Structure 1
Amino acid sequence: MSRKPSYRMYLELSDIIVFAVLAMIFMIWWHGFTIRQLAISHAKRFCKERELQYLDEGIALSFNAFQRNRSGRLNILRHCQFEFSSTGEDRYQGNVVMLGRTLVEIKTPAYRMPEQNNWLN
């Protein structure tokens, strides 16, 4: 009788640690990607509601700090910069503030409103 070789896979502690670190890196990247997409949708909605032009189809995401939300859970506070135009000839920077997946506020500088119909003439 010949014995069939038995192939068993043994995981070492170092293998588990490497896998856990890679999984954590992927989760952090995925969370950042999700927050970025949410911030873009908030910025686009903000611009559309105010008849502004959202520029460059992008947003700059930055980590700022850890902060607790209303329920006491620790989340990442992020400031996301986007660019918009009010007339098509100018360029302004706005800021979307996100706490975790929740929109905190959208800040913009004072911007020039596009001229409507010249009703004075």
Structure 2
Amino acid sequence: MNLFDLVVLLSVVVVCLLFWRFRAIAETANQHLNDYCERQNLQLLSIARIKTRIGSYRGKLDFHSEFSFEFSGNGEDSYQGVLTMVGLKTLDLYTPAYRIQ
């Protein structure tokens, strides 16, 4: 095994670990939004990651992610909210004023 093979192997491992971490963050966001919408009697329509960057929060280096989601309060209108996360922890959940029933 030469140096090139080692670099390629390490690159593949890093890419796999990043993919695994991003999936865990996306699944946690999905679960959190499903729970939130169920508690508030809302219909969750879609979720999309807006951006992800690396940064520190309280001395810990982790990924800062923002998710945009659409929801409906009465089944006819749709509204857009934003979920902000650091790692697997939710920092902020913004929903605009919405019409119910």
Shared fold by TM > 0.5? Answer: yes
Q: TM-score with structure 2 length normalisation?
A: 0.92
- Alpha-carbon separation, structure 1, partners of 2:81 and 2:28: 15
Larger fraction in strand:
2
Paired residues, what number? 101
Which structure 1 segments of 5+ residues have no match? Answer: 1-10, 115-121
* Deviation readout 1:15-67 (Å, 9 max, x if unpaired): 010010011111111111110000001111111111001114xx211334333
* 8 Å contact from structure 1 (residues 94, 108) kept in 2: yes
- Alpha-carbon separation, structure 2, partners of 1:50 and 1:98: 20
**Bigger radius of gyration among the two:** 1
Q: TM-score with structure 1 length normalisation?
A: 0.77
Which structure 2 segments of 5+ residues have no match? Answer: none
Larger fraction in helix:
2
* Deviation readout 1:52-104 (Å, 9 max, x if unpaired): 01114xx211334333223x111111101111100000111111110011110
- What's 2:62 paired with? 75
Q: Percent identity?
A: 33
- Alpha-carbon separation, structure 2, partners of 1:90 and 1:84: 8
**Moved >4 Å (runs of 4+):** none
**2:96 partner SS:** coil
